[in-house]
Amino acid sequence: MRMRSTSLFLSCSLLAPTAFGLAPKGPWDAFNYAPTSKTVYPAAIREMEGTVTNSQQLVNNAGSATLSGQGTWVTLDFGVEVGGLISLNFDSVAANSSIALSFTESPSFIRPTASDDSSFPDASTTYDGVLHVPAPLPRGHWTQPAFSLRGGFRFLTIVSTAPQSLTISNVSCAISFMPHVDDLRAYTGYFFAQDPLFHDPDFLTKIWMAGAYTVQTNTVPVNTGRQVPFEPAGHWANNATLGIAGPIIVDGAKRDRAVWPGDMGIAVPTQFVSTNDLIPTRNALATMFSNINPTTGALPESGPPLSQLGSDTYHCWTLIGTHNYYLYSGDLEWIQTIWTNYTKAVAFLEAKVDPKAMLFFIRSY
Ligand SMILES: *[C@@H]1O[C@H](CO)[C@@H](O)[C@H](O)[C@H]1NC(C)=O
Ligand SMILES: *[C@@H]1O[C@H](CO)[C@@H](O)[C@H](O)[C@H]1NC(C)=O
Ligand SMILES: *[C@@H]1O[C@H](CO)[C@@H](O)[C@H](O)[C@H]1NC(C)=O
Ligand SMILES: *[C@@H]1O[C@H](CO)[C@@H](O)[C@H](O)[C@H]1NC(C)=O
């Protein structure tokens, strides 16, 4: 079974993707971007500076590489977007050896001194900084601390930040998204449409499959949200609680890592067709209803800890999303639990209808 047998999931066997069976095998499988294992190793070396000996050994965990000198760095390419915690082995370190890690989705932001922005989008593009791993480095297997999880990246840069050289091996990323699913490639649906006249006949298929994988990367453990207030410049922290239950669907793997009901308008139909994994959607919607304004019936614009308020459009998206969730799941039992609050939220909108029976939105985004 792909789902872990917690009582929460068992109470909802209708939602178990296995009940629907997997998609047939076919040429579309070549465009399934999900990794075969939840432990992923670098697929290539992207860039280097300074003296890195045997860098190629870090590809697919072949052996050890040595970084010599302060400011020497090597950038590893995981081949696809990944997210989770980096582990590596410190095979040989001096008392003063130290490293820093920087992360980026795009190769344009590969830098030994900064990651791409995930905490706050600053014009400098250097808000997050790097994860410093100071001396003394522990010998043997090491895993980055949970708060420093990066939700979305493809390139990892390892920098020697001291004059003393160090030898490392076994660099990997333990994927943190879709924590309730073992086989990330087990899709229940697929899309395949060739366009023989376009320069890349598989272009549409690639876009659709990339969207499906994006939704998987947005399906995260409930305790891995971006911290709000944001960490000060030079830091990031993804250890905030995102809702009332997990796994939960958020708007983006790297940022914001919060529930945004409007984004779900696109993500949830994709989720239904690709993996039919609707529990993260139910958890996101349930979080919105539990945070309804008890006086006005207004629903929040985003989930916690961001908890933005005041969007009539996103208020509607929670209501539409609830309809979509019921349409895809038939989960009447859950609808009954939120029905009182659903009607309060509808009454909130009814109170905004003007005499000409037009909806009067105070905020349209
Ligand atoms: C290690 O760092 C300490 C403190 O900065 C310094 O006193 C010491 O000389 C360094 N040792 C070596 C071998 O560089
Ligand atoms: C999140 O991580 C930061 C940085 O280590 C820490 O200060 C904070 O207490 C953590 N918060 C939670 C909720 O674990
Ligand atoms: C290599 O890393 C993997 C993944 O973190 C870990 O399970 C394994 O124990 C490590 N190997 C050694 C020899 O430390
Ligand atoms: C319904 O709204 C109230 C606030 O009026 C909230 O305390 C409660 O948790 C909500 N119920 C559900 C099932 O979301």
Task: Choose the final residue of a domain: 175, 205, 239.
Answer: 175
Please state the domain count of the chain: 2
Q: Which of 57, 61, 86, 141 for a ligand 3 pocket mutation test, highest count of atoms within 8 Å of Cβ?
A: 141
pLDDT (mean) for 231-244: 98
pLDDT band of 10, cuts 50, 70, 90: very low
How far apart CA 284 and CA 307 sit, in angstroms, is 13
Give CA angle at 285 (346, 3), nearest 5°. 150
CB 336 near ligand 3, within 6 Å:
no
Answer whether residue 20 is part of any domain: no
Q: To which H or E segment does residue 158 belong?
A: strand 150-160
Largest CA distance in the chain: 77
pLDDT (mean) for 9-30: 67
CATH code of 51's domain? 2.60.120.260
Let me know whether 62 and 128 are in one domain. yes
Let me know whether 120 and 230 are in one domain. no
Separation of CA 150 and ligand 2 centre (Å)? 15
Closest CA to 100 of 240, 255, 234: 234
pLDDT (mean) for 25-30: 97
Atom of ligand 3 nearest to the CA of 87: 5
Structural domain that includes position 116: 39-175
Answer whether residue 196 is part of any domain: no
Separation of CA 153 and ligand 2 centre (Å)? 21
Let me know whether 253 and 158 are in one domain. no
Atom of ligand 2 nearest to the CA of 239: 1
pLDDT (mean) for 223-251: 98
Closest CA to 94 of 175, 157, 152, 160: 160
pLDDT band of 78, cuts 50, 70, 90: very high
Let me know whether 170 and 227 are in one domain. no
CB 80 within 8 A of CB 33: yes
How far apart CA 53 and CA 256 sit, in angstroms, is 38
Residue whose CA is at the smallest distance from ligand 4 atom 14: 290
Atom of ligand 2 nearest to the CA of 227: 1
pLDDT of residue 4: 33
For residue 28, pLDDT beyond 70 = yes
Answer whether residue 183 is part of any domain: no
Separation of CA 162 and ligand 1 centre (Å)? 10
Atom of ligand 3 nearest to the CA of 143: 5
Answer whether residue 283 is part of any domain: yes
CB 144 near ligand 3, within 6 Å:
no
Separation of CA 149 and ligand 2 centre (Å)? 12
Closest CA to 251 of 123, 151, 124, 148: 151
Separation of CA 141 and ligand 3 centre (Å)? 7
Let me know whether 171 and 228 are in one domain. no
Separation of CA 249 and ligand 1 centre (Å)? 47
For residue 15, pLDDT beyond 50 = no
Answer whether residue 364 is part of any domain: no
pLDDT (mean) for 113-130: 97
In order, the DSSP letters of 64-94 are EEEEEEEEEEEEEEEEEEEEEEEEEEEEEE-
Let me know whether 229 and 284 are in one domain. yes
pLDDT band of 12, cuts 50, 70, 90: very low
Let me know whether 228 and 170 are in one domain. no
Report residues whose beta carbon is within 6 angstroms of any ligand 4 atom.
289-290, 292, 294, 337-338, 341
Residue whose CA is at the smallest distance from ligand 4 atom 12: 290
For residue 213, pLDDT beyond 80 = yes
Buried b (16+ CB within 10 A) or exposed e, 133-172: beeebeeeebebeeebbbbbbbbbbbbbbbebbbbbbbbb
Atom of ligand 2 nearest to the CA of 240: 13
Answer whether residue 182 is part of any domain: no
How far apart CA 143 and CA 132 sit, in angstroms, is 13
Let me know whether 81 and 142 are in one domain. yes
Separation of CA 337 and ligand 4 centre (Å)? 9
Let me know whether 58 and 158 are in one domain. yes
Answer whether residue 210 is part of any domain: no
Let me know whether 133 and 223 are in one domain. no
Least confident of 6-10, 13-17, 96-100: 6-10
CA distances to 11, 63, 346 from 55, rounded to whole Å, are: 49, 9, 59
For residue 127, pLDDT beyond 80 = yes
Ligand (nearest to CA of 229): 2
The pLDDT tens digits for 182-201 are: 999 999 999 999 999 999 99
> Which single residue is written with the structure tokens 């006249």?
197
- Which residues touch 104 (CB under 8 Å, ≥6 apart)? 110, 111, 115, 116, 153, 154, 155, 157
CB 271 near ligand 3, within 6 Å:
no
Answer whether residue 17 is part of any domain: no
How far apart CA 137 and CA 67 sit, in angstroms, is 14
State phi, psi for 150 to the nearest 5 degrees: -105, 125
pLDDT of residue 363: 65
> Which single residue is written with the structure tokens 């979305």?
152
Task: Choose the final residue of a domain: 115, 142, 175.
Answer: 175
pLDDT of residue 58: 98
How far apart CA 308 and CA 196 sit, in angstroms, is 46
In order, the DSSP letters of 305-319 are TT-----HHHHHHHH
Ligand (nearest to CA of 63): 3
Closest CA to 68 of 171, 158, 130, 173: 158
How far apart CA 225 and CA 1 sit, in angstroms, is 27
Task: Choose the final residue of a domain: 121, 140, 175.
Answer: 175
Let me know whether 43 and 171 are in one domain. yes
Which tokens hold the place of 220? 């995260």
Separation of CA 170 and ligand 3 centre (Å)? 6
Let me know whether 236 and 323 are in one domain. yes
pLDDT of residue 356: 75
- Which residues touch 251 (CB under 8 Å, ≥6 apart)? 218, 257, 258, 259, 260, 263
pLDDT of residue 355: 73
pLDDT band of 361, cuts 50, 70, 90: low
pLDDT (mean) for 165-175: 98
State phi, psi for 41 to the nearest 5 degrees: -110, 155
